[in-house]
């Protein structure tokens, strides 16, 4: 009968550990989603700021060209196109950086999930060893 109660205790411990791991996995996924949202929100804010900077630079350039009397023509259009191109490149650079940040985030959370899985496996093995150990070497599962 003692073996049966040990088996029941082991089953209870496994069920408790499985529930703890599910909670840990949910918490980890929630944290990962929150970090992803932060990164994407930061990029969107930087895009808006860049668009505002571009609008200010173009307005200043138009005012400067208007004051000089050259607010029309190919050279003025080239200056405006250059400002637009520089702004687009800045946004593309930030988007590339976001891609690298997301890849790094994936690696971090993949490693954390793998570490959690290894810890769970070690705990299950320890319970199995305790159950199957010779009578004199068994650890008590309950105080």
pLDDT tens-digit series, residues 39-64 = 999 999 999 999 999 999 988 888 88
Question: Residue 143 and residue 138: Cα distance in Å, rounded?
Answer: 13
Give the pLDDT confidence score for residue 88 in this predicted structure. 93
User: pTM of whole model > 0.85?
Assistant: no
| 130 C-beta neighbours (distance < 10 Å), count | 17
Instruction: Return the higher-pLDDT residue of 126 and 85.
Output: 85
């Amino acid at each position: 009968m003692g073996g049966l109660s040990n088996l029941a205790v082991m089953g209870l411990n496994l069920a408790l550990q499985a529930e703890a791991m599910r909670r840990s996995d949910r918490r980890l996924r929630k944290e990962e989603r929150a970090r992803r949202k932060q990164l994407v929100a930061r990029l969107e804010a930087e895009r808006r700021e860049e668009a505002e900077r571009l609008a200010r630079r173009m307005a200043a350039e138009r005012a400067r060209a208007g004051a000089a009397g050259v607010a029309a023509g190919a050279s003025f259009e080239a200056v405006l196109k250059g400002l637009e191109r520089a702004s687009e490149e800045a946004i593309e650079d930030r988007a590339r950086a976001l891609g690298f940040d997301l890849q790094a985030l994936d690696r971090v959370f993949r490693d954390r999930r793998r570490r959690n899985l290894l810890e769970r496996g070690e705990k299950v093995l320890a319970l199995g060893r305790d159950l199957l150990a010779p009578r004199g070497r068994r650890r008590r599962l309950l105080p």
